[in-house]
Amino acid sequence: MIRSYLLARWRSFGHAIRGVIWGLRGQAHLRIHALATLAVLALAVGFRVERWEACVLALCVGQVWAAELLNTAIEKLTDLVSPQHQTRAGRVKDVAAAAVLVVAGVSAGVAVLVFWPYVLG
């Protein structure tokens, strides 16, 4: 019983990882976020940021990824239920994309606040 429960949980992780891989292969914005993630990681290591700063940066990166993945899911679901162009369906997609823009913008602002003192020396 415990084994089957653990196996089911393990498979759930597999589905989630498959979703990330699919997103990276098919969504240009996710690839941009991946490059930004690598840049943030390189800067954080290079500047040897404080642990709390690394935590804040990790939270921001995670939020951007989560928002982009949710946006992708909303777009795909919208395309499924509304294959023909409809204004309301377009608005749903626009609002989901706006959520990503807000999270990414705030995260970029946080990155500037964290890295700026290191850049200035």
pLDDT one-digit tens code per residue, 73-84: 999 999 999 989
pLDDT at position 8: 86
Considering only residues 5 and 102, tell me which one the structure prediction assigns the higher pLDDT: 102
pTM for the full model? 0.89
DSSP 83: -
Task: Parse the chain into domains and list their residue ranges.
Answer: 28-120
pLDDT at 120 over 90: yes
67 pLDDT band, cuts 50/70/90, is: very high
**Residue 27 burial (CB count, 10 A):** 17
State the Cα–Cα distance between residues 52 and 65, nearest whole angstrom. Answer: 20
CATH-assigned architecture of domain 28-120: Orthogonal Bundle (1.10)
- Cα three-residue angle 75-78-82, rounded to 5 degrees: 140
Residues 6+ apart with CB under 8 A from 36: 61, 64
